[in-house]
Amino acid sequence: MYTNLSDSELLQCMRKDDELAFSEMYSRFSEKMLRYAYNRTGELTASEEVVQDAFMGLWRNRASTDILNAEAYLATAVKYHAINYLHKHRRLPLACAQVPDNTAAGSLEEHLEFKYLMQRMMQEANRLPAKSRFIFWSHNRNMSVIDIARKLNMKPEAVKKNLYRTIMRLKEVVRSVMISLFF
């Protein structure tokens, strides 16, 4: 019965405390939201926790919030729960470390290659000298060059130069890994 209902109709049923409608909503979107959460966290367990929190929020807010688009609501909730999870566990990934949304449809080999590449980049970033590592990770967490310079009592130009050298070093790692993967 519920499989024939639109998302809007399911939301209307949920507003009336219909748990079966919620179950159908979960069936429709949980897998997609899990992929989306995994793109953000890079960890299956964390992704499952994030998706569970998003769906719990949907259920808790079913009557009090005027949700017009369930998928958009869930995607936004997953995004913010993932960010909170990463901040809470101090595991902010590289900005470029997101697996594209079509990963599940792509080949497992491509996914594993991407994961390997990101692991190598993280390892290399963590091998940097302490000051360079601090500059890199702070910048990756969206701290401005000026703020980093203030924290380290350095000139902003010196921070930029250090960041540039670090990025060039990481590009070399990416290049070498890509060559090893394709040849």
For 46-62, write each residue's pLDDT tens digit: 899 999 999 998 888 88
Q: Same domain for 25 and 80? A: yes
In a domain, 95, yes or no: no
93 found inside a domain: no
Which of 88, 122, 154 terminates a domain? The answer is 88
Provide the residue count of the chain.
183
- C-alpha neighbours within 13 Å on the C-beta side of residue 162: 23
For residue 45, give both structure tokens: 């367990």
Same domain for 83 and 140, yes or no, is no
Q: Is residue 28 part of a domain?
A: yes
**How far, CA to CA in Å, does 115 sit from each of 39, 62, 91, 167?**
11, 37, 16, 19
Q: Convert the pLDDT of each residue in 69-98 to its tens digit.
A: 888 889 888 888 887 787 776 554 444 444
Angle between helices 44-60 and 19-41 (to 10 degrees): 140
- Tell me which residue of 178, 172, 171 sits closest to 96, measured CA to CA: 171
Q: Span 153-173, mean pLDDT? A: 91
Print the domain residue range for 75: 2-88
- Could you say which DSSP state residue 153 is in? T
Taking residue 157's Cβ as centre, other Cβ atoms within 10 Å add up to 10
- Mean pLDDT for the chain? 81
What is residue 180's predicted lDDT score, i.e. its pLDDT? 65
105 and 79 assigned to the same domain? no
Tell me: pLDDT of 44 over 90.
Answer: no
Q: Which of these three, 88, 110, 143, is where a domain ends? A: 88
Do 83 and 6 fall within a single domain?
A: yes
What total of structural domains would you count in the chain? Answer: 2
Question: Which token pair is 85?
Answer: 């999870």
What are the C-alpha distances in Å from 63 to residues 12, 58, 60?
A: 9, 9, 8
- Model-wide pTM > 0.85: no
- Report d(CA 39, CA 99) in Å as an integer: 5
